[in-house]
Amino acid sequence: MAGLNFLDLKFLPAKEAEAVILPIPYEATTTYGAGTRNGPEAILAASRQVELWDEDDNWDPSAVVRLATASPILPEVSGPQAMLDKIKRIVQPWVSQGKFICALGGEHTITVALLQAMQTRYPDFTVVALDAHADLRESYDGSKLSHACVMRRVYEMGRPLTLMGVRSYSQEEHQLLRVAPRLKVFKARDLHTPAGWDQALEHLKGISGPVYLSIDADALDPGVMPAVGTPEPGGLSYSQVLTIIEILAQRGPVIGLDLVELAPIPGHRVSEFTAARLLYKALGYIYHQRRPG
């Protein structure tokens, strides 16, 4: 994977960047489907075809924001804890230097490490996660660090957590959803009603302080994002996801971002093109707020 740069930009060392695209091709706790380890490279390859000009805000974010694509974090296979430690060790210094992190998974578990790295600098963060599944299980397949538990671990960090696009969870997770005080859930079906959608956007606008955004590819409808391990019909549209990001960016600082769980389908490239576009749009929205503009 050495060498593919996001948007085919000229190489920039991570230390000189203000935003770091970070490939993490990690896949060890996946239970079904396979191939999220190939996600980062597919997204980077597709990103080379993304037009640099942002047609919404009429600027070229890549010409203004110093973007670096870091070397991928190679898997540590002795167990998820070792891998999360490695991620945290690498990301922590960048966070300390105020860099924006945009991670490409790989499985969702990596979000835990990314947030731990964020927490020292941004103790008051809120997490907004787009996901078809609640990922709130206590443990799964013998580990508390499985992809199916990632939001539980995130929730335990003691900060507000908003889940959007959810349409699949277990009874155990349902119980938690009902009582967890810092947890707010917007189910996909509700987001497809005008009232539910407005309510969700109001909620997002009301979040104060730094926000970390985690996007599981399966939050999007499998019609437009088929390359996921467990497709769930009835997902968010591309336009909905764009709006969510736009509103989060207008609202206040977005401190980090990940897009995970994309497992490329050989020969059917829509998913990675959509992901690459989405990430660049997200960077555009986020940095457009930070600039005079």
Single out the segment in contact with its own copies by CB under 8 A; choices: 23-31, 98-106, 115-123, 282-290.
23-31
Residue 101 phi, psi dihedral angles, 5° rounding: -110, 130
Pick one of 15, 66, 182, 268: the residue that binds its own copies (CB under 8 A): 268
Single out the segment in contact with its own copies by CB under 8 A; choices: 15-23, 113-121, 205-213, 223-231.
223-231
Return the residues of window 120-159 that contact its own copies according to CB under 8 A: 133, 140-143, 145-146
Return the residues of window 190-209 that contact its own copies according to CB under 8 A: 192
Residue with tokens 């907004």: 128
Where in 73-157 does DSSP place strands (E)? 100-105, 126-130
**Minimal distance, residue 209 CB to its own copies, in Å:** 30
**Is residue 64 within the footprint of its own copies (CB under 8 A)?**
no
**Is residue 33 within the footprint of its own copies (CB under 8 A)?**
yes
Do 215 and 258 touch, CB atoms closer than 8 A?
A: yes
**Is residue 66 within the footprint of its own copies (CB under 8 A)?**
no
Residue with tokens 């970070």: 22
**Minimal distance, residue 27 CB to its own copies, in Å:** 7
Q: How far apart are CA 57 and CA 63, in angstroms?
A: 14
**Minimal distance, residue 288 CB to its own copies, in Å:** 16
- In the stretch 162-181, what mask flags binding to its own copies with x, by CB under 8 A? ----xxxxxx-xx-------
DSSP state of 247: H
Strand (E) or helix (H) holding 240: helix 238-251
Nearest residue to 62 (alpha-carbon basis) of 72, 52, 48: 52
**Minimal distance, residue 141 CB to its own copies, in Å:** 4
Do 135 and 119 touch, CB atoms closer than 8 A?
A: no
**Is residue 89 within the footprint of its own copies (CB under 8 A)?**
no
**Amino acid residing at 137:** R
Nearer to its own copies, 255 or 257 (CB): 257
Q: How far apart are CA 12 and CA 272, in angstroms?
A: 23
**Is residue 78 within the footprint of its own copies (CB under 8 A)?**
yes
How many helices (DSSP H) and strands (DSSP E) are in the chain?
10, 8
Nearer to its own copies, 86 or 121 (CB): 86
**Is residue 108 within the footprint of its own copies (CB under 8 A)?**
no
Report residue 140 as tokens: 């799964």
Nearer to its own copies, 18 or 41 (CB): 41
